[in-house]
Amino acid sequence: MSRAFRIINIFIVNLLFVTHLAYADEPNGTLKKIKDTNSITLGYRETSVPLSYLDGEQRPVGYSMDICMEIVKEVKSRLSLPNLQVKLVPITSQTRIPLITNGTIDADCGSTTNTVERQKQAAFLYTHFVTGVRILSKKKDNIKSYRDLKAKTIVTVNGSTSERLFRDLNTKENLDLNFLGSGDMAESFMMVETGRAAAWPIDESILYPMIATSKRPSDFAVVGEFLSYEPIAIMIRRDDPQFKALGDSVLKSMFQSGKIMEVFNKWFSSPIPPKGVTLNFPLSDDMKKLISNPNDKGI
């Protein structure tokens, strides 16, 4: 092989390598959609205090929303889109997966539990909060455990993991429960508040804020043992490794730098809008483990 031919051959190989890198760096999937439209669309919950909810001026705020805005900052930088538009769309337990899969929203910045079943339809970034299902009831009803709910009426949010959990418990332990379905957190709380339901099982992180912001906090209690392990994560479209890698890198950076604790303390240990209530929610051992070892494992 002549020297000239070897030089040409090396040049072609290098050219192909550079072309491959350029192609690999080209945005695709969600990032291409964002670049083409100069916009990113985030889904938010209206009543999932303090993860994702509306403040006194009806603006979406919360722990999950702040994390999503950190991801937006990285998207702006990565795609060189300083004027990126952020669109906000309300979601519910029933609409969040369809709105992700049909492309209406690019990320679910709410209170969604990462489950193996949901992974069949969507993907999840690293878990950013850990909670578990317990029970909200009125103190006067003297409920101490789910076993005390036998033959009583409970309310569950339609499509939630706690609904599935209690339907399984109902069958397994012959509780003879009467189920009422609700569309959101506020409606569920109201059903217990007005006596239509004896209890509302859902993530502990949702129950304490609902009590703290109610008219008569002293009327209610969070009772019983933890009935589940709930890893809360931002949901995105499946088969989009580029966008997932970007989101995971933001979360990992927040964990390593301590930024995540600033955000956590802002929403769980400080006065929050709209009433300036402090939740006094402690950092759990599971959260400490998560910060040290990020993962996207579903349940």
Higher pLDDT, 199 or 160: 199
Of 80, 78, 77, 74, the residue nearest 25 (C-alpha)? 78
CA distance 284 to 269: 13
Which whole number is the average pLDDT over 200-225?
A: 91
Say what the pLDDT of residue 2 is: 52
More confident residue, 79 or 209: 79
Average pLDDT over residues 122-138: 96
Tens digit of each residue's pLDDT (9 = 90 or more) over 28-77: 999 999 999 999 999 999 999 999 999 999 999 999 999 999 999 999 99
Please count the residues of the chain: 299
* pLDDT score, position 7: 46
Give the amino acid at 103: G
Q: How many Cα atoms are found within 13 Å in the side-chain-facing hemisphere of 153?
A: 10
Could you tell me the domains of the chain? 29-130+234-292 (3.40.190.10), 133-228 (3.40.190.10)
- For the chain, percent of residues with pLDDT exceeding 90: 81
On the question of pLDDT at 120 being above 90, the answer is yes
Beta strands in 125-232 (DSSP E): 129-131, 133-138, 153-157, 178-182, 200-203, 220-223, 230-232
The CA dihedral of 163, 167, 170, 173, to the nearest 10 degrees, is: -110
**pLDDT tops 80 at residue 245:** yes
- Give me the mean pLDDT over the 20-31 stretch: 70
Alpha-carbon torsion (211, 43, 107, 88), positive or negative = negative
Calculate mean pLDDT across residues 121-150.
96
Residue type, 251: L
Computed over every residue of the chain, the mean pLDDT equals 91
Give the per-residue pLDDT at 209. Answer: 85
Query: What's the pLDDT at 11?
Result: 46
- pLDDT at residue 263, as a whole number: 98
Q: How confident is the model at residue 139 (pLDDT cuts 50, 70, 90)?
A: very high
